Amino acid sequence: MQKVTVDAGFTCPNRDGTRGTGGCTYCDNRSFNPSYCDPSKSITRQIEEGIAFHALRYRRAKRFLVYFQPFSNTYASLEILKEKYGEALSFPGVTGIVIGTRPDCMDEEKLEYLATLAEKWFIQVEYGVETHNDRTLLRINRGHDAGISERMIRRTHEYGISTGAHYIFGLPGETTEEMFRTGEVISRLPLDSVKFHQLQIVKGTRMESEFEKDPASFHSFTLDGYIDFIIRFIEKLNPAIVIERFTSEMPPRFLADNNMGLIRYDEVLRRIEAELEKRDSWQGKFFAERQD
């Protein structure tokens, strides 16, 4: 099974003026979009090129999940979403879709539709949450608060849809203690999976300017420091939640600052696993489930 990313040509409410302009201060979608992704191409063509793109590295993949990743992929009318998702699900070998979106771009009508799709295909909604700290969300221009993230995660779960969330560690002004408190919130939520990324400063973003003016307000992880942090973080994390990623990586040409060095994700994962074994530790080692 392999994910194939597509760009369906959506935008975000904090880019088009609905909630704000300029987007999140850290964001440049080009930094993580595969070269074949282009909204001027049909969904079908992008899937074809994506399968060919991954064929050399993932030769055993026979089935595919289409990943609607760039921008907010529920930020359109239901009619448009049905067209986009339907084209992806009709492609041979596709067994489901993963939808990256914002919690403020979801509603009951869309959840009801996705729940009907989930009766036949694998459907996952992956919310960009980033943090549960409202002060940080305001600073990075997210355009929504933490409350709507928590409500929509719970509502999506109630519809029986696989629910994921994305978090960033090292956002400006956020302390290590506040990051650990985000972990406590995550553990209480009905999440099926999470992705964790260290903050990367991308060239040309507003965050690059902010970092240049006040680097001391950022928690820039070294590789060893991040491995130590992530292990202590997951030791207290609900073990029922699947961790899909621990770090992010992007082409070096996009990076304005990179404390962790040019290391591939596979190697970071190997080092995390080796350190877990060294410490005789695991996800949820110190997690104490609440007894109501």
Per-residue pLDDT of the chain (292 residues; tens, 9 = 90+): 889 999 999 988 877 777 767 777 776 656 556 677 788 899 999 999 999 887 777 677 789 999 999 889 999 999 999 999 999 999 999 999 999 999 999 999 999 999 999 999 999 999 999 999 999 998 888 888 999 999 999 999 999 999 999 999 999 989 999 999 999 999 999 999 999 998 888 788 888 888 888 888 888 888 999 999 999 999 999 999 999 999 987 666 666 566 676 788 899 999 999 999 999 999 999 998 643 3
Q: Which residue has the tokens 């972990």?
A: 183
CB of 156 closer than 8 Å to CB of 216: no
Cβ-in-10-Å burial (0-12, 13-18, 19+) of 278 comes to: exposed
Is the Cα dihedral 147, 153, 157, 161 positive or negative?
A: positive
**243 - beta bridge partners?**
194
What count of other Cβ atoms lies within 10 Å of the Cβ of residue 100?
22
At residue 235, what is the residue type? E
Residue 98 has what pLDDT?
A: 98
CB of 111 closer than 8 Å to CB of 151: no
3-state secondary structure 122-133: EEEEEEEEECCC
* Contacts with 186 (C-beta within 8 Å, 6 or more apart), sequence order: 132, 165, 167, 194, 237, 238, 241
Q: Which domains does the chain have, with CATH numbers?
A: 2-279 (3.80.30.30)
Containing H/E element for 47? helix 43-54
Cβ-in-10-Å burial (0-12, 13-18, 19+) of 3 comes to: middle
* Contacts with 224 (C-beta within 8 Å, 6 or more apart), sequence order: none
Cβ-in-10-Å burial (0-12, 13-18, 19+) of 147 comes to: exposed
Candidates 212, 159, 168, 227; CA nearest to 194 is 168
The CA-atom distances, in angstroms, between 34 and each of 54, 67, 262 are 10, 12, 18
Please provide residue 284's backbone torsions phi and psi, each rounded to the nearest 5 degrees: 85, 10
CB of 22 closer than 8 Å to CB of 141: yes
